[in-house]
Amino acid sequence: MRLLVSLVCALPLAAFAQDAKKEIEKYQQMLGEGSPAELWEVQGEELWKKPQGPKKASLERCDLGLGPGKVAGAYARLPRYFKDTDKVQDLESRLVSCMTELQGRSPKEATQRVFGNADRPAEMEYLVAYIVGQSRGHKMAVPNSHPKERAAYELGKKVFFYRAGTWDFSCASCHGETDKRIRMQDLPVLSEREGAQKAYTTWPAYRVSNSQLKTMQWRINDCYRQMRYPEPEFASEATIALTHFMAVTANGAPYRGPGTKR
Amino acid sequence: MSGPMKMRATLAAGYTDVRVLMTHPMTTAQSNQPLHFIQSVTVKQNGRTVVEAQISQAVSRNPVFTFRLKGGAKGDKIEVSWLDNKGESNKIEASVA
Amino acid sequence: MRVLTFALALAAPLALAEPSARHVEEIHVRDFHTKGIVKREAVAQDGILRICTITNDRPPAALAQVLEADQLKTIPFPAGSLMGDWKRGENIAQSGRGMTWTDPAGTPNGGSCYNCHQLAAKEISFGTLGPTLLAFGKKRGSGADVQKYVYGKIYNAKAYNACSQMPRLGWSGTLTEQQIRDLVAYLLDPASPVNQ
**Per residue in A64-83, pLDDT tens?**
999 999 999 999 999 999 99
Residue B44, in any domain of the structure: yes
Residue C18, in any domain of the structure: yes
> Averaged over A5-12, what is the pLDDT?
43
Secondary structure element (H or E) that encloses residue A212, with its range: strand A212-214
The answer to whether the CB of A200 falls within 8 A of the CB of C79 is no
Q: How far is residue A191 from each of residues A159, A171, B69, C54, measured CA to CA in Å?
A: 11, 9, 46, 17
**pLDDT of A125:** 98
**Per residue in A213-253, pLDDT tens?**
999 999 999 999 999 999 999 999 999 999 999 999 999 99
Using an 8 Å CB-CB cutoff, list chain A residues near B3.
39, 43
Residue B89, in any domain of the structure: yes
* Cα dihedral sign, C160-C162-C168-C171: positive
Note whether C27 contacts A: Cβ–Cβ < 8 A. yes
**Per residue in A92-115, pLDDT tens?**
999 999 999 999 999 999 999 999
Length of chain C: 196
CA A23 to chain C, closest CA, distance in angstroms equals 16
Q: What whole-number distance in Å separates Cα of residue C57 and Cα of residue C164? A: 8
Note whether B36 contacts A: Cβ–Cβ < 8 A. no
Pairing relationship of beta strands B48-54 and B38-45 according to DSSP bridges: antiparallel
Chains linked to C by 3 or more Cβ pairs within 8 Å: A
Residue A218, in any domain of the structure: yes
Residue A138 has pLDDT above 90, yes or no: yes
Start-to-end Cα distance in chain C: 78
**pLDDT of C126:** 97
Residue C131 has pLDDT above 80, yes or no: yes
What is the tally of structural domains in chain C?
2
Residue A7 has pLDDT above 70, yes or no: no
> Averaged over B62-70, what is the pLDDT?
91
CA B7 to chain A, closest CA, distance in angstroms equals 9
The answer to whether the CB of A136 falls within 8 A of the CB of A248 is no
What is the tally of structural domains in chain A?
1
Pairing relationship of beta strands A231-232 and A185-187 according to DSSP bridges: unpaired
Using an 8 Å CB-CB cutoff, list chain B residues near A42.
4, 6
The residues, ordered by sequence, that sit 6+ positions from A247 with a Cβ below 8 Å of its Cβ are A78, A79, A140, A142, A196, A200
> Averaged over A41-59, what is the pLDDT?
97
What is the DSSP annotation of A118-160? Answer: SSS--HHHHHHHHHHHTTTTPBP-----SHHHHHHHHHHHHHH
Helices A91-101/A216-226 angle, 10° precision:
120
**pLDDT of B73:** 93
Cβ–Cβ gap B21/A34 under 8 Å: yes
> Averaged over C84-105, what is the pLDDT?
97
> Averaged over B47-67, what is the pLDDT?
91
By residue range, what is the domain housing residue A118?
37-261
Residue A79: cis peptide before it, omega within 30 degrees of 0 = yes
If asked whether residues C53 and C96 sit together in one domain, one would say no
Using an 8 Å CB-CB cutoff, list chain B residues near A118.
25, 61
Q: How far is residue C160 from each of residues C68, C75, C144, measured CA to CA in Å?
A: 6, 12, 17
If asked whether residues C101 and C153 sit together in one domain, one would say yes
pLDDT band at C2 (very low <50, low <70, confident <90, very high): low
Note whether C125 contacts A: Cβ–Cβ < 8 A. yes
Choose among B83, B80, B50, B47: nearest CA to B65.
B80
Cβ–Cβ gap A166/C45 under 8 Å: no
Residue B1, in any domain of the structure: no
The model carries a pTM of 0.90
Burial (CB count within 10 angstroms: exposed 0-12, middle 13-18, buried 19+), residue C97: middle
Percent of chain A topping pLDDT 70: 94
By residue range, what is the domain housing residue C130?
86-195
This complex has an ipTM of 0.91
Q: What whole-number distance in Å separates Cα of residue C112 and Cα of residue C99? A: 11
**Per residue in A151-164, pLDDT tens?**
999 999 999 999 99
What 3-state class would DSSP assign to A108? helix
Burial (CB count within 10 angstroms: exposed 0-12, middle 13-18, buried 19+), residue C84: buried
Q: What whole-number distance in Å separates Cα of residue A147 and Cα of residue B73? A: 57
Query: Could you tell me which chain A residue has the CA closest to the CA of C21?
Result: A158
Using an 8 Å CB-CB cutoff, list chain A residues near C49.
163-164, 168
CB atoms within 10 A of CB B3: 17
Side chain identity at C58, as an amino acid letter?
A: R
If asked whether residues C95 and C42 sit together in one domain, one would say no
What 3-state class would DSSP assign to C91? helix
Decide if A98 is catalytic.
no
Q: What whole-number distance in Å separates Cα of residue B61 and Cα of residue B28? A: 10
CATH number at B26 reads: 2.60.40.10
Residue A22 has pLDDT above 90, yes or no: no
Cβ–Cβ gap C100/A226 under 8 Å: yes
If asked whether residues C98 and C142 sit together in one domain, one would say yes
Asked whether B and C share 3 or more beta-carbon pairs under 8 angstroms, the answer is no
Asked whether A and B share 3 or more beta-carbon pairs under 8 angstroms, the answer is yes
* Cα dihedral sign, C82-C85-C91-C97: negative
Q: What whole-number distance in Å separates Cα of residue C5 and Cα of residue A134? A: 47
**pLDDT of B56:** 84
Probe site for chain C from A166, A185, A234, A245 (most C CB atoms < 10 A): A166
Using an 8 Å CB-CB cutoff, list chain A residues near B61.
118, 211
If asked whether residues C6 and C103 sit together in one domain, one would say no
Residue C75, in any domain of the structure: no
Residue A197, in any domain of the structure: yes
> Averaged over C168-190, what is the pLDDT?
98
By residue range, what is the domain housing residue B50?
6-95
CATH number at C163 reads: 1.10.760.10
Question: What Rg, from alpha-carbon coordinates, does chain C have?
Answer: 21
**pLDDT of C11:** 43
pLDDT band at A192 (very low <50, low <70, confident <90, very high): very high
- For C19, the closest of A17, A154, A229 (CB atoms) is A154
Q: What whole-number distance in Å separates Cα of residue A188 and Cα of residue A165? A: 22
Burial (CB count within 10 angstroms: exposed 0-12, middle 13-18, buried 19+), residue A211: middle
Cβ–Cβ gap B8/A34 under 8 Å: yes
If asked whether residues C47 and C104 sit together in one domain, one would say no
Query: Could you tell me which chain A residue has the CA closest to the CA of C14?
Result: A147
Half-sphere exposure of A56 (CA within 13 A, CB side): 0
If asked whether residues C39 and C103 sit together in one domain, one would say no
Residue A8 has pLDDT above 80, yes or no: no
CATH number at A139 reads: 1.10.760.10
Using an 8 Å CB-CB cutoff, list chain A residues near B9.
none
